[in-house]
Amino acid sequence: MKITFLGHASLQIEVGGKTVIVDPFISGNELATQIDITTLKADYILITHAHQDHILDVEQIATNTGATIVSNYEIATYYGAKGFESHPMNHGGSWQFDFGRVTYTNAIHTSSFPDGTYGGQPGGFIIESVEKTIYIAGDTALTMDMKLIPMQFTIDLAVLPIGDNFTMGMNSAVIAADFVQCNRILGVHYDTFGYIKIDREFAKLKFKEVNKELILLEVGSNLEV
Ligand code: NI
Ligand code: MN
C-alpha cells in the first residue's frame, strides 16, 4: 500500500491495484498548489464527513475520473442525486470492495455540507488490503470507541488528526494511537489554517517519548505501508 499526502487530510492511496482518494481538499489549500487535481487518478473517493475542507474537490475529481464516492448514507446519497457513482455506508458497517475491505468507523465531530445540507454523522475508515490494514480516523476527538478497533483489526498505520482546535491535538493523538494499538502514525489536519498551526518537531517528539513514530509528509510525498 502506497500513501501519498495531498495536503491537509487528503490522501491518495494505491491499494489492491486501485487508486483511492480520501477527503480531497486541494484546490483551496494554498499549501498544496503543486498538486494538479485535473491529472489525479482515482477509482474511489472516500469521504469521512461533509465539511468543506474534506469535500471541496470531490465533484471535479469524480467528474474527471468516474470514481465511485464512498461515504455515509447522507453524503453518498447527496452525490448520487447529482449523478455521481456512489456507495453508501454507515457506522460499524463493512463492505468488500475490489481493492480491499472498508469499514466506516465512529468519529466525534460534525458533518454539514458548506451550504448547510445535513451530511449525516461523521466517521473514519479502516481499509484492509491483502498486505496491510490502515485506520483513517477522520476529524475526531479522542474517543473511547477507538479502543474497540484493535479488538477486530491489527492496525499497521493510523492516520490521525493532530492540529487541535477542530479535532484532537497531538496529546490526544498520542493516546488515540495507544487505543488503536499502533506505533506508526501519519499526522494530518495541521498547519493548513491559522487555528491548526503546530510545531512539527515538538509533535514528533511527543510520539517519540512513548516509542511511537509520527510521520509528517511533505505535500506530494509518500510512504509505503
Ligand atoms: Ni471537519
Ligand atoms: Mn476538517
Report the CATH number at residue 145: 3.60.15.10
| Cα 189 to averaged position of ligand 2 atoms, centre (Å) | 7
Instruction: Tell me if 171 is assigned to some domain.
Output: yes
Distance 154 CA to ligand 1 centre (A): 26
Number of domains in the chain: 1
Distance 86 CA to ligand 2 centre (A): 21
Residue 108 lies in a domain: yes
- Does residue 128 belong to any structural domain of this protein? yes
Q: Is residue 224 domain-resident?
A: no
Q: For the chain, what is the largest distance between any 2 Cα atoms, rounded to a whole number of angstroms?
A: 49
Grid look-up 466506516 returns 104
- Residue 152 pLDDT: 98
- Proximal ligand: closest to the CA of 9: 2
Q: Output the pLDDT for position 131.
A: 87
Distance (angstroms) between ligand 1 centre and the Cα of 130 equals 30
Burial class (CB in 10 A: 0-12, 13-18, 19+), 112: middle
Residue 166 CA, ligand 2 centroid: distance in Å: 7
In the structure grid, which three cell numbers stand for residue 152, read together? 477486530
Secondary structure letter of residue 133 according to DSSP? E
Residue 53 CA, ligand 2 centroid: distance in Å: 5
Write down the pLDDT at residue 124.
Answer: 98
Can you name the residues that pair with 2 across neighbouring β-strands?
14, 224
Distances (CA, A) of 220 to 33, 38, 144, 216, 225: 10, 15, 33, 12, 16
Q: Is residue 223 a part of any domain in this protein? A: no
**Rounded Cα distance, 95 and 37, in Å:** 27
Q: How many residues does the chain have?
A: 225
Count CA within 13 A, CB hemisphere, residue 48: 32
Distance 50 CA to ligand 1 centre (A): 7
Residue 208 falls within a domain, yes or no? yes
**Judging by DSSP bridges, how do beta strands 86-89 and 94-96 pair with one another?**
unpaired
CA 115 to CA 10: how far, in whole Å? 21
How much distance in Å is there from the Cα of 192 to the middle of ligand 2?
10
Radius of gyration from C-alpha coordinates of the chain: 16
For the chain (225 residues), the mean pLDDT of every run of 10, in chain order, is 98 98 98 96 98 98 98 98 98 98 98 97 98 97 98 98 98 98 98 97 98 98 98
| Residue 102 forms part of a structural domain | yes
Ligand 2 geometric centre to CA of 64 (Å) = 24
Model pLDDT, residue 65:
98
In a domain, residue 225? The reply is: no
Distance CA 121, CA 110 (A): 7
Ligand nearest, relative to CA of residue 189: 2
Task: Provide the residue range defining the domain that includes 171.
Answer: 2-218
User: Which amino acid is residue 111, in one-letter code?
Assistant: S
In degrees, to the nearest 5, what angle opens at C-alpha 18 toward C-alphas 16 and 20?
110
Of the ligands numbered here, which is closest to the C-alpha atom of 164? 2
Which ligand is closest in space to the CA of residue 114? 1
